[in-house]
């Protein structure tokens, strides 16, 4: 299953953990597909994405939204 498909199917904490493991595997097997391979850049991109999506994110995000955040940060500029 592709990462984006995994994100849309997340309903539980276990689904989220499986997604995080798949995200890590994707980084290890295809690092060129990521814009942010250093932890510093990745964390900065998470913050930037959340800030830019501020008006669309709920105050109490779901596991699915957290997963979207992590996936978006791999490409976000």
pLDDT on residue 76? 79
Banded pLDDT at 33 (limits 50, 70, 90)? very high
| Residue range 21-44: mean pLDDT, rounded | 93
Contact 74, 36 (CB under 8 A): yes
Task: Give the whole-angstrom CA distance, residue 13 versus residue 75.
Answer: 24
| Residue range 43-67: mean pLDDT, rounded | 92
Is residue 64 pLDDT above 90, yes or no? yes
More confident residue, 54 or 16: 16
Q: Rg for the chain (alpha carbons), in Å?
A: 12
Task: Give the whole-angstrom CA distance, residue 64 versus residue 12.
Answer: 8
Q: What is the pTM of this model?
A: 0.84
Is residue 77 pLDDT above 80, yes or no? no
């Amino acid at each position: 299953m592709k990462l984006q498909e995994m994100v849309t199917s997340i309903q539980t904490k276990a689904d989220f953990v499986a997604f995080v493991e798949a995200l890590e595997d994707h980084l290890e097997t295809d690092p060129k597909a990521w814009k942010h391979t250093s932890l510093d850049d990745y964390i900065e991109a998470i913050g930037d994405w959340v800030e830019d999506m501020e008006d669309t994110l709920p105050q109490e995000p779901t596991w699915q939204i957290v997963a979207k955040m992590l996936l978006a940060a791999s490409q976000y500029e």
